[in-house]
Chains A and B, each alone.
Chain A
Amino acid sequence: MNANMRNIHKRLLLENVSRRDMLKGVFAAGGLVLAAQVFPRGALADGGSVNAYKTGADGMPGGTVWDPHVYVSIAPDGTVTIVTHRSEMGTGSRTSLPMIVADEMEADWSKVKIVQAPGDEQKYGNQDTDGSRSIRHFIQPMRACGAAARKMLETAAAARWGCSDMEVRADMHKVVHVPTGRSLGYGELAADAAALKTPRANTLELKDPSKFRYIGKGKVQITDLRDITTGHANYAQDVRVDGMKYAVVARPTVLGGKAVKWDEAAAMKVPGVVKVVAISGTPMPAKFMPLGGVAVVADSTWAALKGRDALKVQWDDGPNADYDSGTYRQAMAASARKPGKVERNEGNVDAALAGAAKVIEREYYIPHGHHATMEPPAAVARVAGGKAEVWACVQSPGGTRGDVAGVLGMKEEDVTVNVTLLGGGFGRKSKCDFALEAAMLSKAMGGTPVKVVWTREDDIRHGFYHSVSYQHVTAGLDASNKVVAWRHRSVSPSLMANFMPDPKRESSLELGLGLIDTPFNVPNLRLETGEAVAKTRIGWFRSVNNIPHAFAMQSMVAELAAELGRDQKDFLLEMIGPARIVDPRGTVSSELWNYGDPWETYPIDTGRLRAVVERAAKEAGWGKKLPPGEGLGIACQRSFLTYVASVVHVKVDKDGNVSVPRVDTAIDCGFCVNPERVASQMEGAAVMGLSIAKYTNITFKNGRVEQNNFHDYPVLRIGEGGMDVRTHIMPAGIDKPSSGVGEPGVPPFAPAFFNALHAATGKRIRNLPLGNQLTA
């Protein structure tokens, strides 16, 4: 245990709560129940850090900064139950986080049960499962929690044997008396351990990493594997509550539209329909409030769907009816072609461009995208007797609880949010509008439980869309072909429009996602934003603005390399420059968003970025000779404090069909808790990246989304590429702060793919998606 690690324990109090009933509903009775409670900052006299290294858990909304509880209970039969407080949407957090606790407490994973916490940030710490933060922010508290449980079990065993603590050692679900080899199982010790006072935090010892059984090994099956493969895994779409009715909602197809007239009688005529309920919308900024519209409540989903068809709603579309993707794009282009607001400025770009031997200008466009989580949004609510209970597939259990309380005018204590499994999240399910609809409808139904089912069409037409982006990049080269100037203008309507009136450009949060944090080693650098006003709900989508920013930056680098006849990879490394810490905090106009985490823990380290580029290139056999019609492309991005580089191998046949025989992705995410799930995230990111590159395209006409379902909003299918993704995880010890994994695999993929496509065909694609641009 190093000195810093010891500090964590000064402020980490493990409180024995087995005799309290605060855990009712989470645990069956009996056994040892531990709660790790981390004191709020400043609660201790020394004011020292609670962690070996600081993370941004401090800055998380909800004011639960240092209160990430992890609960452990042990039943007399030895079953260890571990609460997981973050939402599972496919990243593996429901496996990896409890695994940390289990490992530290020397529990046998085969005897561990996982229980999902309801939304309660006071009790569990921040639960907002986005921003690739679960491991990043909770590896340290979870290790401490497991260590405390182990310590209590050891103390109980020592008392039983009348020996010193020094003579006992926890070892795989039992405590051993070292001198004699006697042992007692965790189940046998549970009651005694529960009766003990919890050890002071500074008496705890963390395991030596060489003793880890699960952490860092990647040998554990995911928690819900059996249930998933037998059809017993429960998602919000699957929730059934006694007496429940089913609802679907006709929502305004234009943001801000209102239902003016509908045929309630026709809907009521459909057998099984029980009620038609109008839901009011909220003008922007509406945060996550429902869009409003008309709900049909029925005895079955089918009846509700037929009832909704019969409604024939007439809408007043409101001012956003003029939203047209074609004209909007032209306006964005115009905005990107004139000087914008300077967001980061180094050297003198104007002078450098004026004096450049060669100036190269390029423009890049990415349309709106939509998450299309495999499970469309759904929620069940029962609002009765002054209480509300919700079952929902939300990434934000705590936030949802607050928002449900808000729309119902209740206190948070009276609201329970049960978190189901999420059939995909990708950011969509951070927005709980669907859960709020369920709550409003159950209330309107006098307390009858109501399940709101979103169809795929509802999902695609009423999303929170990944922002459309237009970027104009100008590079200046000197006589020796060095890049001496880089002017980058980015135009993209901001997701902040959900939270504040009328933002006109990307916020500092969005700019920190791969624009103003660029590590490029160019002496004259100016990053600007142009104006664009949101005409639909903009929402974060897995890796957010990193997607367009990386696309433009990493494509431009390859374009320059091609222009100069240089090797893509060598030129990229030259752009990154030597290994160093890049600190743009003095040259940005507002704040440098570092993913909400402290700069000292997570600076921009070009050494690490270079290393993943080199590793991916090496693994992919960069430079190998390929037949005509094939090519390799490379791109990299630091995002969510993690460094990723991908080499994509592209093959184009004579009819212009593109395949991707192989992808090599190198990732440096600091200390890696679950390499197997990291690999699955990189595999998934390649598939999603290829979807973005080939298909993703939400367009608006007359204010309405033009797409409806998977026929006109295609996503990648099996065999279309990304079937051989090889993940190369950079080795890192436990002292290397863990960073994000769920998102960082996405941003480099599309530019690497288009760089490969260029290598294979000589064609440069600057407008996404690819569509039929190769053959047209």
Chain B
Amino acid sequence: MKLKVNNQERNFSGDPQMPLMWYLRDELGLTGTKFGCGVGLCGACTVHVDGRAARACATPMQSLDGKAITTIEGLHPQGNHPVQKAWRDANVPQCGYCQPGQIMQAAALLNENKRPNDEQILSAMSGNICRCGCYQRIFSAVKAAAKEA
């Protein structure tokens, strides 16, 4: 099967049941997609599949034929997506481990909804755990990015 990862064509012929997360991390070395829970509960592995947020740990390879995947490494050529910039302005991260997933989730939200209200932001981000507790800054960074986007 064929798929695109960060705009590059890829062929995949391995175990169709393998989650996308391990393909990205182990085979392609795209380790910005983090392993947090493996079962869709934490959002650390969030990527975009055809522009929409998806949990790479719960997305089997077989579902991705012909799809375009974007990972944190491919979100913006210089790493300056409005969400990434807002994150840096607010010095959001503590340990940083959850942050690529948070950023991908927020970017997907703003793709779909340029002007989300507070409720919509909280509900879109509620699948992304930050054990360090950066939620207050994540929330304000998403709001700031929404103003920019």
Bound state CA distance, A453 and B96, in angstroms?
19
A65 within 8 A of partner (CB) = no
Say yes or no: is A4 at the interface (Cβ < 8 Å to chain B): no
State whether the Cβ of A776 lies closer than 8 Å to any Cβ in chain B: no
Assembly CA distance A240 to B31 (angstroms): 9
Chain B residue numbers with a CB within 8 Å of A229 are 79, 84, 87-88, 93, 99-100, 103
Taking the closest CB of chain A, its distance from the CB of B32, in whole angstroms, is 2
- Residue A45, interface by CB 8 Å: no
Q: Is B95 in contact with A89, judged by CB distance below 8 angstroms?
A: yes
Q: Is B42 an interface residue (CB 8 A)?
A: yes
Do B72 and A687 touch (CB < 8 A)? no
State which residues 682-731 of A face B: CB under 8 Å: 683-688, 709-711, 715-719, 722-725
Once the chains bind, are A90 and B95 in contact (CB under 8 Å)?
Answer: yes
| Chain A proximity of B92: nearest CB distance (Å) | 8
Known: A233-B96, A423-B97. A680 touches B126 (CB 8 A): no
B26 touches A716 (CB 8 A): no
The answer to whether B97 and A375 have CB atoms under 8 Å apart is yes
- Measured between beta carbons, the chain B residues less than 8 angstroms from A1 are none
Q: Is the CB–CB distance between A221 and B88 below 8 Å?
A: yes
A91 to B131, Cβ gap below 8 A?
Answer: no
Q: Tell me how many residue pairs across A and B have CB atoms closer than 8 Å.
A: 186
Contact B131 A374 (CB under 8 A): yes
Inter-chain contacts of A88 with B (CB < 8 A):
95
Binds A, one of B15-23, B48-56, B108-116: B15-23
A423 partner residues in chain B, CB cutoff 8 A: 34, 95-98
Chain A residues within 8 Å of B41, by CB? 456, 709-711
Contact of A226 among B42, B88, B129 (CB under 8 A): B88
CB distance from B4 to the nearest CB of A (A): 17
Q: Which residues of B contact A224 (CB under 8 A)?
A: 93, 96
A683 touches B96 (CB 8 A): no
Q: Is B94 a contact partner of A302 (Cβ separation < 8 A)?
A: no
Contact with A along B44-75 (1 / 0, CB 8 A): 10000000000000000000000000011101
Contact at A228–B31, with CB atoms within 8 Å?
no
A373 CB–B CB distance under 8 Å: yes
Q: A231 contacts which of B72, B127, B131 (Cβ < 8 Å)?
A: B72
Report how far A373 CA is from B37 CA in the complex, Å.
11
Given contacts A229-B103, A422-B95, A717-B129, contact A302 B134 (CB under 8 A): no
Interface: B125 (CB within 8 A): yes
Give bound CA distance, A237 to B134, whole Å.
Answer: 21
Q: State in angstroms the CA–CA spacing of A221 and B96 once bound together.
A: 13
- Report whether A301 and B139 are in contact in the complex, using a CB–CB cutoff of 8 Å: no
A residues within 8 A CB of B30?
231
CA separation between A90 and B94, bound complex, in Å?
4
A273 to chain B, nearest CB (A): 12
Beyond A91-B94, A228-B93, A709-B39, whether A716 also contacts B133 by CB under 8 A is yes
A119 on the B face (CB < 8 A): no
Contact at A301–B22, with CB atoms within 8 Å? yes
Q: Are B79 and A230 in contact (CB under 8 A)?
A: yes
Q: Is A222 an interface residue (CB 8 A)?
A: yes
Q: For residue A448, which residues in chain B have a CB less than 8 angstroms away from its CB? A: none
Please report the C-alpha to C-alpha distance between residue A683 and residue B139 in the assembled complex, in whole angstroms: 13
For B42, what are the chain A residues with a Cβ–Cβ distance below 8 Å?
Answer: 374, 456, 710
Report the minimal beta-carbon distance from B40 to chain A, rounded to whole angstroms.
10
Instruction: Give the CA-CA distance A450 to B35 in the complex, in Å.
Output: 18
A225 in contact with B88 (CB, 8 Å) = yes
* List of B residues within 8 angstroms of A716 by Cβ: 133, 135
Interface magnitude class on chain A: 35 or more
B88 and A374: CB pair below 8 A?
no
Q: Is B13 an interface residue (CB 8 A)?
A: no
Question: Which residue of chain B has the shortest Cβ distance to A300 in the bound complex?
Answer: B26
Provide the bound-state CA to CA distance between A709 and B44, in Å. Answer: 14
Query: Do A374 and B33 contact each other (CB < 8 Å), given the known contacts A222-B91, A231-B72?
Result: no
User: Quick check: is A424 within 8 A (CB to CB) of the other chain?
Assistant: yes
Q: A719-B126, A723-B136 are contacts. A238–B94 as well, Cβ < 8 Å?
A: no
- The reply to whether B129 and A715 contact each other, CB–CB distance below 8 Å, is yes
User: With A and B bound together, what is the CA distance between A240 and B79 in angstroms?
Assistant: 23
Asked whether B26 lies within 8 Å of A302 as measured between CB atoms, the reply is: yes
* Contact B97–A231 (Cβ < 8 Å): no
The residue among A227, A271, A683, A685 with the most chain B CB atoms within 10 A of its own CB is A683
Is residue A364 contacting chain B, with contact meaning CB distance below 8 A?
A: no
Are A374 and B18 CB-contacts (below 8 A) given A231-B33, A424-B95, A710-B37? no
B31–A680 CB distance below 8 A: no
Do B131 and A271 touch (CB < 8 A)?
no
When chains A and B are docked, how far (Å) is the Cα of A453 from the Cα of B36? 11
Contact (A724, B136) CB under 8 Å given A423-B97, A684-B94: yes
Contacts of B79 in A (CB 8 A): 226, 229-230
Chain B residues 1-31 with CB under 8 Å of chain A are: 15, 18-19, 22, 25-27, 29-31
Chain A stretch 339-374: residues in CB contact (< 8 A) with chain B: 372-374
Give CA–CA (A204, B137) in the complex, Å: 41
User: Across the two chains, which residue of chain B brings its CB closest to A89?
Assistant: B95
Other contacts beyond A302-B15, A716-B135: 15, CB < 8 A = A224-B93, A229-B93, A230-B72, A230-B79, A231-B33, A238-B25, A302-B22, A302-B26, A374-B44, A375-B35, A424-B131, A686-B133, A687-B132, A709-B41, A710-B37
A-B contact pairs, 16 of them (CB 8 A): A90-B96, A229-B87, A229-B93, A230-B72, A231-B100, A232-B73, A237-B31, A301-B26, A421-B96, A423-B34, A426-B131, A680-B94, A683-B134, A688-B131, A718-B130, A725-B136
